[in-house]
C-alpha cells in the first residue's frame, strides 16, 4: 500500500487491517501520523508495518517489496494510492511541476506493480488496485499534469488486467470524486458549498467511502472483476442538477 499515513490511504490501511489483512504501508514524510496509525491498529491487535520511502525514487519499489516479502513471505494485495497535486496552468507549469506529479502518481504505479507481479504470478493470486481520480475525465484548468497521471493509471489498469488475468491477478482502479483530505483542504476552504451542490449525494466523500470500495475489489467476492474503473464520487460526474 503506498501513501498510507494520511487521508484516503490511511482509510484503506484501516479498513484492510480491520478485515484481517496484515498491512505494510509506505509514507514519505509524516512519521508522526504513520506511527500513530500503527499504534492505533496494534491496540486493536492488528498487524501493520510502516515503511518510510519516496515512491518517486526509482529504487524504492524493489526495496519496499523485498522487505515486505522478507517479513511476511507473500503479497496478496497492492494498493497504489500515493499521489500529489502541483496545480498550475500549462503556460506557467515548469518541468519539475510536471515531472514530480508524473513520477509520484504514475511512475510509482508502474514500479510497484512491476515489483509485485512476479511474486503474485508464482502464487497465482493477486489484487492490484490503483487509486485514480475523476479528474482524469474532467478538463480542470491547472491540472494537466495530474489528469495525465490519472488517465495513464486508468489505461495501465486495463492493459495489466489483460496481461495478468490468466495468472489469477485482477487489476482495477478506484476513481474518487471530491474527498475530505489534506489534499483538498485549500479548495474546500474556498468553495465547499459550491462543490457539495454538484454532488448528487449532497456531501463530500470521506476516506472510508474509498476504503470500502477498495476492500471490496481486494476481496474474493470481486474475483471476476478486472480492468474496471470504479467511480466513487457520490454522483459528482453525473452532471445532473
Ligand atoms: P493526502 O491527504 O495528501 O495524502 C497523501 C498520502 O500519500 C500521504 O500518506 C503521503 O505521505 C503519501 N505520499 C505522497 N507522496 C508520496 C511519496 N512521494 N512517497 C511516499 N508517499 C507519498 O492525499 P489524499 O487526498 O488522501 O489522496 C490519496 C490518493 O487519492 C491520491 O492518489 C490522490 O490523487 C487520489 N485522489 C484524491 C482525491 C481527493 O479528493 N482527496 C480525489 C481523487 C483522487 P506523507 O504524509 O508521509 O508525505
How far apart are the C-alpha atoms of 169 and 123, rounded to whole Å?
10
**Global pTM?**
0.98
Q: What is the pLDDT of residues 138-150, one digit of tens each?
A: 999 999 999 999 9
Buried b (16+ CB within 10 A) or exposed e, 171-182: bbbbbbbbbbbe
Pick the residue whose CA is nearest to atom 23 on ligand 1. Answer: 183
Ligand 1 centroid from CA 212, angstroms: 17
Model confidence at 215: pLDDT above 70:
yes
Model confidence at 26: pLDDT above 70:
yes
Ligand 1 atom closest to Cα of residue 149: 34
Q: What is the pLDDT of residues 133-183, one digit of tens each?
A: 999 999 999 999 999 999 999 999 999 999 999 999 999 999 999 999 999
Place of cell 485482477: 170
Model confidence at 240: pLDDT above 70:
no
Ligand 1 pocket check for 9: Cβ under 6 Å: yes
Distance of CA 60 to the CA centre of its chain: 17
Instruction: Please give the full DSSP string across 68-88, using - where no structure is assigned.
Output: HHHHHS---EEEE--------
pLDDT tier, 220 (very low <50, low <70, confident <90, very high otherwise): very high
Ligand 1 centroid from CA 236, angstroms: 20
Ligand 1 pocket check for 54: Cβ under 6 Å: yes
146 is catalytic: yes
Pick the residue whose CA is nearest to atom 34 on ligand 1. Answer: 83
Of 120-124, 137-141, 208-212, 220-224, minimum mean pLDDT range: 137-141
Ligand 1 pocket check for 199: Cβ under 6 Å: no
pLDDT tier, 239 (very low <50, low <70, confident <90, very high otherwise): confident
Ligand 1 pocket check for 80: Cβ under 6 Å: no
How far apart are the C-alpha atoms of 65 and 120, rounded to whole Å?
12
Amino acid at each position: 500500500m503506498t501513501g498510507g499515513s494520511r487521508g484516503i490511504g490511511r482509510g484503506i490501511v484501516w479498513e484492510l487491517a480491520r478485515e484481517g489483512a496484515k498491512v505494510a504501508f509506505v509514507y514519505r514524510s509524516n512519521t508522526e501520523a504513520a506511527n500513530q496509525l500503527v499504534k492505533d491498529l496494534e491496540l486493536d491487535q492488528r498487524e501493520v508495518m510502516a515503511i518510510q520511502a519516496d515512491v518517486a525514487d526509482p529504487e524504492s519499489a524493489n526495496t519496499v517489496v523485498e522487505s515486505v516479502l522478507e517479513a511476511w513471505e507473500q503479497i496478496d494485495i497492492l494498493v497504489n494510492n500515493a499521489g500529489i497535486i502541483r496545480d498550475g496552468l500549462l503556460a506557467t507549469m515548469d518541468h519539475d511541476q510536471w515531472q514530480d506529479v508524473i513520477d509520484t502518481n504514475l511512475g510509482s504505479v508502474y514500479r510497484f506493480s512491476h515489483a509485485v507481479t512476479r511474486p503474485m504470478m508464482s502464487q497465482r493470486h493477486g489484487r492490484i488496485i490503483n487509486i485514480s481520480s475523476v479528474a482524469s475525465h474532467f478538463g480542470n484548468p491547472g491540472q494537466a499534469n495530474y489528469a495525465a497521471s490519472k488517465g495513464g493509471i486508468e489505461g495501465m489498469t486495463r492493459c495489466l488486467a489483460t496481461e495478468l488475468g490468466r495468472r489469477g491477478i485482477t487489476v482495477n482502479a478506484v476513481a474518487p470524486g471530491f474527498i475530505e483530505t489534506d489534499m483538498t483542504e485549500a479548495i474546500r476552504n474556498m468553495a465547499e458549498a459550491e462543490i457539495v451542490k454538484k454532488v448528487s449525494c449532497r456531501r463530500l466523500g470521506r476516506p472510508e467511502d474509498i476504503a470500502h470500495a477498495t476492500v471490496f475489489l481486494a476481496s474474493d467476492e470481486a474475483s471476476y472483476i478486472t480492468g474496471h474503473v470504479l467511480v466513487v464520487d457520490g454522483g459528482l460526474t453525473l452532471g445532473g442538477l
